[in-house]
């Protein structure tokens, strides 16, 4: 694959532009001591150097609660560290960093994003109002059905026990102790 | 395809008529229609495969999903890589399953088979009609392009060659048990006969779903590069839903076989499983829910919506009409019985299915009710489902330990003492070593408890055989499993599930760091196990291979100063046959796996086009357990399926179950 001087100039310029984006207003100096790639244009989106902000646990925890709005369904942290073709999550990361630098708390940062992008920017609905249904309906449904099931089983097993006591049980003429002993012996032989 | 449409229509109509009047020539005609349908669709599929392999770019589908330089294996997998091809794939596999069901089913169920032919033909009819009218892979272009667009790079992965077809096989094979259930309802043969006829189909279907889902996780893990394997994406959820209800069915059907109970519930479960298998396809293809897996939007969603409504109405009416014939033959005798634990197991499985469905649909519900869009992502699903999942894990251990009908206190004490002690010891150890994550402690302790129950069952069984028959332990083990394959195969499956839970627990301890490194520079990362990993960037190389241009970044890895090896992560820029870049670059993670943790390295790109590389280094504990749990689960399924699984002992116990149900019925009658 030919690699002309003109290409080198173009690629150097192209590589500098994203560096400006990633690093904000401080363009990076090109380090001439490092070998250039043969085809940087085929090595994915050019990246800037990693700063402390990228690994900051607080920033990561906030970004994990924010959804990247590019349509990938991932949170901002996962998207910016995974989908290296996405330009949205790095921009959202820069917004988070800017808000952190302003001294906002995690909740305040989330509120700022909600104000800008709507509630759908959160990875999970806020626990308030109608959203409570999202959180509590499954648990409530299981609890209610479970309680009803338990009540039904308790009543039915009571009826069967009464029938057994009246002599019509599966094995009549057997005391509860004898039935338990039989069950124990049978379980030992089961294999 | 038109011939297939006519044959499917014939098979459906004649099948239902033959089922009603049992005229031998119509019964035979319905049967032969299923064979002919399978044959015709195989020919259609071969035609598409030939077009793909011969690069017939005049066929729109071939031009859209392949290119001249696409490796042959991915050219073949393009058959089901696009919407129209996957519809044809579904139709041909279902038609083949329908024919196999006719061919392999015992003649004892001859009166069910015409209805089975009718139902399978009807479902094939739907898929063939949708393929023909809304997503036809044979549509030709008015011109012939010199090359095709190629296959999405993320689909150019061995996992993607096998994951979709296996998942499809799972979805599709659900139709056969459903067809037998409908046949039983229509023919009013509602004894346990239809359950015996579908036993292997249900296990096969469940296994395909399990393997398909697990391979999907593996593909996501190795190919998508985010370091996880499950993101609660709507399409992942859609595959999980029928698996949950099918798992519930596999358990509750045992109660019907043993005790003649839960007949209505089992009909509902198998209907629900079939519905969910189609529903999953609907949400993937209709575009009603945003997903990274979504196919291009097309009118196909309307066809699926209509079919789903038809399934609900037809199955609902049929079950409602047969309700009086679906009364239980016996009553539950105790709250402390295997039947009761299976009921609660069903409640939790269906409960998880409901919560997943609820979460998946909630964005749509919220928009309808409030007019506000919300996102329901992993934090929600984890919060809601982890407690239910842990309860289910507990029941996995409890269920098999409790006797059928009624368990005595002495029996409970003997069964639970050792496993509960094992679980408590593990909990104490975890606390002692400083683990404080509540769910992780619960999950690992419950896993130990369940493993304890399984080991106890095996040890007691082997011990009993050793004492009673004088067999050595190896022979006793082989015969124990061989003579009661369903039971012990089930335990092996449970062991596989426990391994999944162990792997899921590891996700709580994932650690990660991003770094930009010049050649020779290093970064350290501490693992949850206490090791310190040192990653040293070696350099970046670029080369051409197959249909792509690869940029590979190499890293030397050391653990506590001891060299582990060199790992490589790649950026792949796929190119067409003219060397032009096609698609966005994709990322190949470097993964090194062992029992404790995975080292997961992602090359994110280069700084200013130099060898200074940006990496994300992740340590993922316990991921190995997921893939090997999958292997154990499949092994258990194969043991369960192995021919001759119904031993004499099992038949006798089964008969005892029926005897008990008869006496139980008389007791109920006496009580009444």
With contact defined as beta carbons under 8 Å apart, do B315 and B352 qualify? Answer: no
Using a pLDDT cut of 90, give the percent of chain B over it. 59
Q: Given an 8 Å threshold on Cβ–Cβ distance, is B408 in contact with A189?
A: no
- Is the predicted pLDDT of residue B391 greater than 90, yes or no? yes
* Confidence band, pLDDT 50/70/90 cuts, at residue B661: very low
Side-chain half-sphere CA neighbours of A39 within 13 A: 17
Using a pLDDT cut of 70, give the percent of chain A over it. 66
Order of strands across the sheet with B586-588?
B522-526, B532-545, B548-559, B562-574, B586-588
Determine how many CB atoms are found less than 10 A away from the CB of residue B90: 24
Interface test with B, best of A125, A162, A171 (most B CBs within 10 A): A125
* Confidence band, pLDDT 50/70/90 cuts, at residue B408: confident
Q: How far is CA B672 from CA B31, B333, B461, B666, in A?
A: 46, 15, 40, 10
- Is residue B517 within a helix (H) or strand (E), and if so which, with residue range? strand B511-517
Task: Choose among A131, A138, A168: nearest Cβ to B358.
Answer: A138
Largest CA distance in chain B: 87
C-alpha B108: how far from its chain's center? 31
With contact defined as beta carbons under 8 Å apart, do B77 and B160 qualify? Answer: yes
Interface check for A82 against chain B (CB to CB < 8 A): the answer is yes
Give the residue-averaged pLDDT of B370-375.
88
pLDDT at B289: 61
Give me the phi and psi of B563, to 5 degrees please.
-65, 130
pLDDT at A13: 47
Domain B509-624 CATH assignment equals 3.20.20:
no
pLDDT at B105: 87
Q: Given an 8 Å threshold on Cβ–Cβ distance, is A42 in contact with B542?
A: yes
* Confidence band, pLDDT 50/70/90 cuts, at residue B275: very high
| DSSP code, position B224 | I
pLDDT at A182: 64
Lowest mean pLDDT among A154-163, B602-611, B612-621: A154-163
pLDDT at B585: 85
Please name the residue of chain A whose CA is at the shortest distance from the CA of residue B386.
A139
pLDDT at A167: 58
pLDDT at A189: 53
- Chain B residues within 8 A of A48 when measuring between CB atoms: 516, 607
Determine how many CB atoms are found less than 10 A away from the CB of residue A168: 18
Query: What are the tokens at B139?
Result: 């549509």
- Is the predicted pLDDT of residue B544 greater than 80, yes or no? yes
Cα pseudo-dihedral B262, B332, B494, B436, rounded to 10: 120
Please name every residue paired with B602 in a beta bridge, in sequence order, or none if there are none.
B616
- Is the predicted pLDDT of residue A71 greater than 90, yes or no? no
Enumerate the domain spans of chain B. Answer: 1-151, 157-327+345-391, 392-507+636-671, 509-624
What is the SS3 assignment for A172?
A: coil
* Nearest chain B Cα distance for residue A70, angstroms: 11
- Is the predicted pLDDT of residue A175 greater than 50, yes or no? yes
* Nearest chain A Cα distance for residue B198, angstroms: 26
Core vs surface per residue B357-377: b (16+ CB within 10 A) or e: bbbbbbbebbeeeeeeebbbb
* Nearest chain B Cα distance for residue A102, angstroms: 24
Give the residue-averaged pLDDT of B502-506.
94
* Confidence band, pLDDT 50/70/90 cuts, at residue B660: very low
The string of pLDDT tens digits covering residues A98-157 is 999 999 999 999 999 999 999 999 999 999 999 999 999 999 999 999 999 888 888 877
- Is residue B573 within a helix (H) or strand (E), and if so which, with residue range? strand B562-574
With contact defined as beta carbons under 8 Å apart, do B523 and B617 qualify? Answer: yes
- Is the predicted pLDDT of residue B415 greater than 90, yes or no? no
Q: Given an 8 Å threshold on Cβ–Cβ distance, is B410 in contact with A184?
A: yes
pLDDT at B578: 81
Lowest mean pLDDT among B118-122, B162-166, B384-388: B162-166
* Confidence band, pLDDT 50/70/90 cuts, at residue B302: confident
User: Sign of the CA dihedral A88, A90, A93, A95?
Assistant: negative
The string of pLDDT tens digits covering residues B178-215 is 999 999 999 988 888 888 888 888 999 999 999 999 99
Interface test with B, best of A42, A49, A137, A171 (most B CBs within 10 A): A42
pLDDT at A186: 62
- Is the predicted pLDDT of residue B110 greater than 90, yes or no? no
Please name the residue of chain B whose CA is at the shortest distance from the CA of residue A161.
B333
Please name the residue of chain A whose CA is at the shortest distance from the CA of residue B289.
A73
Nearest to B489 by CA among B644, B372, B615: B644
SS3 content of chain A, % helix, strand, coil (to 5): 60, 5, 35
pLDDT at B32: 94
Q: How far is CA B418 from CA B338, B393, B538, in A?
A: 19, 17, 52
Q: Given an 8 Å threshold on Cβ–Cβ distance, is B355 in contact with A81?
A: no
Interface check for A23 against chain B (CB to CB < 8 A): the answer is no
Q: Helices B438-469 and B473-483 meet at what angle, rounded to 10?
A: 100
* Residue, of B324 and A122, whose pLDDT is higher: A122
* Nearest chain A Cα distance for residue B589, angstroms: 10
Please determine, for the modelled complex, whether the ipTM score is greater than 0.85: no
* Confidence band, pLDDT 50/70/90 cuts, at residue B286: low
Please name the residue of chain B whose CA is at the shortest distance from the CA of residue A18.
B608
The most confident of A25-29, A57-61, B580-584, B643-647, by mean pLDDT: A57-61
pLDDT at A22: 39
* Nearest chain A Cα distance for residue B114, angstroms: 38
Task: Choose among A38, A45, A118: nearest Cβ to B373.
Answer: A118
* Confidence band, pLDDT 50/70/90 cuts, at residue A178: low
Give the residue-averaged pLDDT of B388-400.
92
- Is the predicted pLDDT of residue B351 greater than 60, yes or no? yes
Core vs surface per residue B436-457: b (16+ CB within 10 A) or e: eeeebbbbbbbbbbbbbbbebb
- Is the predicted pLDDT of residue B142 greater than 70, yes or no? yes
Q: Given an 8 Å threshold on Cβ–Cβ distance, is A139 in contact with B343?
A: no
- Chain A residues within 8 A of B328 when measuring between CB atoms: none
Give the residue-averaged pLDDT of B118-126.
95
What is the SS3 assignment for A22?
A: helix
With contact defined as beta carbons under 8 Å apart, do A100 and A59 qualify? Answer: yes
Q: How many CB pairs under 8 A join A and B?
A: 282
Q: Given an 8 Å threshold on Cβ–Cβ distance, is B226 in contact with A164?
A: no
Cite the DSSP H helix spans in B323-408.
338-370, 378-401
Interface test with A, best of B589, B609, B648, B670 (most A CBs within 10 A): B609
- Chain A residues within 8 A of B405 when measuring between CB atoms: 170
Give the residue-averaged pLDDT of A17-23.
40
Give the residue-averaged pLDDT of B437-447.
95
pLDDT at B662: 40
* Confidence band, pLDDT 50/70/90 cuts, at residue B486: confident
pLDDT at B335: 77
The string of pLDDT tens digits covering residues B429-438 is 999 998 889 9
* Nearest chain A Cα distance for residue B255, angstroms: 15
With contact defined as beta carbons under 8 Å apart, do B280 and B356 qualify? Answer: no
- Name the A residues in 101-130 with CB < 8 Å from any B CB: 118-125, 129-130
- Chain B residues within 8 A of A186 when measuring between CB atoms: 403
With contact defined as beta carbons under 8 Å apart, do B462 and B476 qualify? Answer: yes
Q: Given an 8 Å threshold on Cβ–Cβ distance, is B410 in contact with A161?
A: no
* Residue, of A181 and B179, whose pLDDT is higher: B179
Give me the phi and psi of B373, to 5 degrees please.
-80, 140
The string of pLDDT tens digits covering residues B207-253 is 999 999 999 899 889 888 888 899 898 888 988 999 999 999 999 98
pLDDT at B596: 93
State the average pLDDT for chain A: 78
Q: Given an 8 Å threshold on Cβ–Cβ distance, is B380 in contact with A124?
A: yes
């Amino acid at each position: 694959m030919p690699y002309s001087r003109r290409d080198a100039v173009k690629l150097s310029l192209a590589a500098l532009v994203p560096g400006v984006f990633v690093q904000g207003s401080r363009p990076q100096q090109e380090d001439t001591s490092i070998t250039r790639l043969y085809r940087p244009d085929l090595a994915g989106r050019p990246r800037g150097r990693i700063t402390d902000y990228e690994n900051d646990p607080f920033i990561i925890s906030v970004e994990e609660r924010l959804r990247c709005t590019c349509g990938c369904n991932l949170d901002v942290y996962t998207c910016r560290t995974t989908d290296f073709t996405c330009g949205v999550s790095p921009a959202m990361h820069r917004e988070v960093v800017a808000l952190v630098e302003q001294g906002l708390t995690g909740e305040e940062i989330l509120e700022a994003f909600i104000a800008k992008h709507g509630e759908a920017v959160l990875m999970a609905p806020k626990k308030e109002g109608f959203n409570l249904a999202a959180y509590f309906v499954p648990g409530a449904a299981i609890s209610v059905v479970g309680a009803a099931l338990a009540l039904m089983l308790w009543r039915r097993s009571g009826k069967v026990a009464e029938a057994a006591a009246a002599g019509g049980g599966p094995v009549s003429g057997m005391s509860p102790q004898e039935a338990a002993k039989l069950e124990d012996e049978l379980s030992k032989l089961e294999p | 395809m038109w011939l297939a449409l006519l044959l499917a229509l014939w098979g459906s109509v004649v099948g239902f008529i033959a089922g009603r009047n049992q005229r031998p020539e119509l019964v035979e005609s319905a049967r032969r229609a299923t064979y002919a349908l399978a044959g015709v669709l195989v020919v259609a599929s071969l035609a598409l495969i030939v077009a793909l392999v011969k690069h017939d770019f005049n066929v729109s589908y071939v031009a859209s999903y392949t290119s001249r330089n696409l490796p042959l294996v991915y050219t073949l997998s393009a058959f089901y890589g696009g919407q129209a091809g996957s519809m044809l794939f579904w139709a041909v596999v279902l038609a083949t399953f329908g024919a196999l069901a006719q061919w392999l089913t015992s003649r004892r169920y001859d009166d069910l088979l015409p209805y089975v032919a009718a139902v399978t033909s009807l479902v094939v009819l739907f898929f063939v009609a949708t393929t023909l009218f809304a997503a036809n892979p044979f549509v030709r272009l008015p011109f012939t392009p010199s090359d095709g667009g190629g296959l999405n790079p993320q689909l150019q992965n061995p996992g993607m060659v096998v994951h979709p077809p296996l998942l499809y096989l799972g979805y599709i094979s659900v139709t056969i048990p459903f067809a037998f259930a409908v046949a039983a309802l229509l023919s009013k043969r509602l004894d346990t006969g239809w359950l015996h006829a579908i036993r292997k189909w249900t296990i096969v279907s469940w296994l395909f779903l399990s393997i398909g889902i697990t391979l999907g996780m593996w593909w996501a893990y190795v190919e998508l590069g985010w370091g996880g394997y499950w993101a609660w994406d709507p399409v992942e959820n859609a595959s999980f839903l029928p698996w949950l209800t099918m798992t519930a069915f596999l358990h509750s059907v045992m109660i019907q076989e043993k005790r003649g109970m839960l007949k209505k519930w089992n009909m509902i479960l198998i209907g629900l499983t079939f519905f969910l298998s189609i529903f999953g396809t609907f949400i993937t293809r209709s575009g009603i829910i945003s997903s990274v897996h979504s196919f291009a939007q097309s009118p196909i969603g309307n066809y699926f919506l209509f079919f789903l409504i038809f399934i609900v109405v037809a199955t609902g009416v049929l079950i409602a009409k047969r309700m009086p014939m679906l009364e239980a033959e016996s009553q539950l005798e105790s709250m402390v019985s295997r039947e009761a634990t299976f009921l609660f197991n069903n409640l939790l499985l269906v409960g998880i299915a409901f919560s997943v469905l609820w979460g998946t649909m909630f964005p749509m519900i919220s928009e309808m009710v409030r007019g506000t869009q919300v996102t329901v992502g992993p934090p929600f699903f984890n919060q809601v489902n982890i407690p239910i999942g842990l309860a289910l894990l507990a029941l996995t251990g409890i269920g098999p330990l409790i006797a059928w009908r009624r368990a005595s206190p002495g029996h409970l004490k003997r069964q639970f003492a050792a496993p509960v002690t094992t679980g408590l010891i593990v909990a104490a150890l975890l606390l002692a070593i400083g683990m404080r994550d509540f769910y992780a402690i619960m999950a690992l302790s419950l896993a130990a408890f369940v493993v304890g129950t399984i080991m106890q069952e095996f040890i007691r069984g082997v011990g009993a055989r050793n004492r009673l028959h004088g067999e050595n332990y190896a022979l006793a083990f082989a015969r124990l499993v061989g003579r009661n394959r369903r039971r012990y195969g089930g335990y092996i499956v449970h062991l596989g599930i426990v391994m999944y839970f162990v792997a899921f627990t590891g996700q709580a301890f994932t650690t990660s760091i991003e770094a930009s490194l010049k050649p020779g520079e290093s970064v350290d990362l501490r693992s949850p196990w206490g090791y310190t990993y040192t990653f040293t960037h070696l350099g970046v190389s670029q080369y051409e291979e197959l249909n792509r241009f690869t940029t590979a970044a190499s890293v030397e890895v050391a653990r506590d100063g001891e060299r582990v090896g060199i790992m490589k992560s790649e950026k792949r820029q796929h190119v067409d046959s003219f060397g032009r870049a096609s698609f966005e670059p994709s990322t190949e993670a470097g993964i090194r796996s062992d029992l404790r943790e995975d080292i997961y390295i992602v090359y994110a790109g280069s700084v200013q086009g130099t060898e200074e590389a940006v990496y994300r280094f992740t340590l993922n504990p316990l991921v190995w357990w997921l893939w090997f749990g999958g292997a154990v689960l499949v092994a258990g399924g194969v043991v369960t399926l192995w021919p001759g699984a119904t031993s004499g002992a099992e038949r006798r116990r089964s008969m005892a179950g029926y005897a008990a149900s008869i006496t139980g019925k008389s007791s109920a009658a006496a009580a009444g």
